[in-house]
């Protein structure tokens, strides 16, 4: 199907019955004068003068757009304390990339938290891919105030080979384990890159020297759509099969309760409930607890 048809189909998702009321709130958001923003650990937006009634409208909209997974954000005094302290991942990776003047894609960008942070490196163009209508709505909410020219596409990693242009740097963070076809996914990322382009990727991993992957029957850490959790040698084999070269392991990090935790901005449970209460080294299913590997590779 041509990309424009897919785009049109997906934009229609914004009319779904749970999303439509959120879009209506967005359409009536105030636009405070002289807005400023800072792109530090918290993406913070403020203005010299905002009425209490406008602050209330913005807070109400933020609450309606729950659950908020990635962030945090602060808008005119409303602190969106997201489930993930996403600056931990961003700050870990930032020393390994330079986006100045580059065409950059964040594939699986969620609400765009990393894309907003990347603005400070002055890339030539920033594009986010994420099929979720809720996360696109959260992005539009934040960007209503920041007014960046980030392009948000409700597309998936699988659409990269069809995309109108290639990228100098692609990020694909926390997506690979959600794909039932990880090598095909890596091939799509490869095809999305310019010659000499680079990929920055993270995925769940298990320890081990043998090139094997954990394949949960139903859930991993209570997450239903996790298909493969590889050892690093298995991940390197996948990357090599997708033709990547110069593969570097940047970091390895266990997820802890500082990085992912229950807040009032999500519904339901978080990491603490996903681990074995008697042994935090294991998930509730008895698998090794979530650990991620961060990789850089060249096309």
Ligand X SMILES: C[S@@+](CC[C@H](N)C(=O)[O-])C[C@H]1O[C@@H](n2cnc3c(N)ncnc32)[C@H](O)[C@@H]1O
Residue closest to ligand X when measured from CB atoms? 156
Would you say 129 or 244 has its CB closer to ligand X?
A: 129
Task: Give the nearest distance from C-beta 239 to ligand X in angstroms.
Answer: 18
Q: Which residues bind ligand X (CB under 6 A)?
A: 70, 86, 107-108, 110, 129-132, 135, 156-158, 173-175, 178
CA distance 282 to 44: 36
Task: Give the nearest distance from C-beta 246 to ligand X in angstroms.
Answer: 22
Task: Give the nearest distance from C-beta 205 to ligand X in angstroms.
Answer: 14
Would you say 99 or 107 has its CB closer to ligand X?
A: 107
Task: Give the nearest distance from C-beta 292 to ligand X in angstroms.
Answer: 9
Task: Give the nearest distance from C-beta 117 to ligand X in angstroms.
Answer: 11
Would you say 136 or 299 has its CB closer to ligand X?
A: 136
Task: Give the nearest distance from C-beta 50 to ligand X in angstroms.
Answer: 29
CA distance 34 to 259: 33
Say if CB 297 and CB 242 are below 8 A apart. Answer: no
Would you say 174 or 182 has its CB closer to ligand X?
A: 174
Would you say 115 or 236 has its CB closer to ligand X?
A: 115
Would you say 175 or 242 has its CB closer to ligand X?
A: 175
């Amino acid at each position: 199907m041509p990309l424009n048809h897919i785009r049109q189909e997906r934009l229609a998702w914004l009319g779904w019955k749970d999303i439509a009321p959120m879009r209506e709130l967005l359409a009536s958001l105030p636009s405070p004068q002289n807005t400023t923003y800072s792109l530090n650990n918290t993406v913070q937006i403020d203005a010299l003068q905002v009425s209490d009634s406008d602050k209330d409208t913005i807070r109400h909209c933020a609450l309606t757009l729950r659950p908020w997974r990635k962030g945090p954000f602060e808008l005119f005094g409303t602190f969106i304390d997201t489930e993930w302290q996403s600056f931990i991942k961003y700050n870990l990776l930032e020393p390994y990339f330079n986006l100045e003047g580059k065409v950059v894609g964040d594939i699986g960008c969620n609400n765009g938290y990393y894309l907003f942070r990347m603005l400070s490196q002055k890339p030539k163009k920033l594009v986010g891919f994420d099929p979720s209508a809720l996360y696109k709505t959260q992005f539009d909410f934040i960007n209503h105030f920041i007014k960046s020219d980030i392009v948000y596409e409700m597309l998936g990693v699988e659409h990269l080979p069809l995309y109108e242009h290639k990228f100098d740097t692609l990020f694909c963070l926390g997506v690979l384990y959600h794909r039932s076809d990880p090598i095909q996914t890596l091939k799509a990322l490869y095809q999305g890159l310019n010659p000499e382009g680079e990929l920055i990727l993270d995925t769940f991993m298990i320890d081990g020297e043998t090139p094997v992957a954990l394949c949960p029957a139903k859930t991993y850490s209570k997450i239903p759509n996790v298909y493969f959790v590889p050892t690093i040698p298995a991940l390197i084999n996948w990357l090599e099969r997708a033709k990547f070269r110069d593969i570097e392991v940047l970091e390895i990090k266990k997820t802890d309760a500082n990085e992912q935790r229950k807040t009032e901005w999500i519904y339901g449970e978080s990491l603490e409930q996903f681990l074995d209460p008697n042994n935090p080294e294991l998930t509730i299913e008895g698998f090794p607890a979530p650990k991620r590997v961060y990789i850089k590779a060249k096309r």
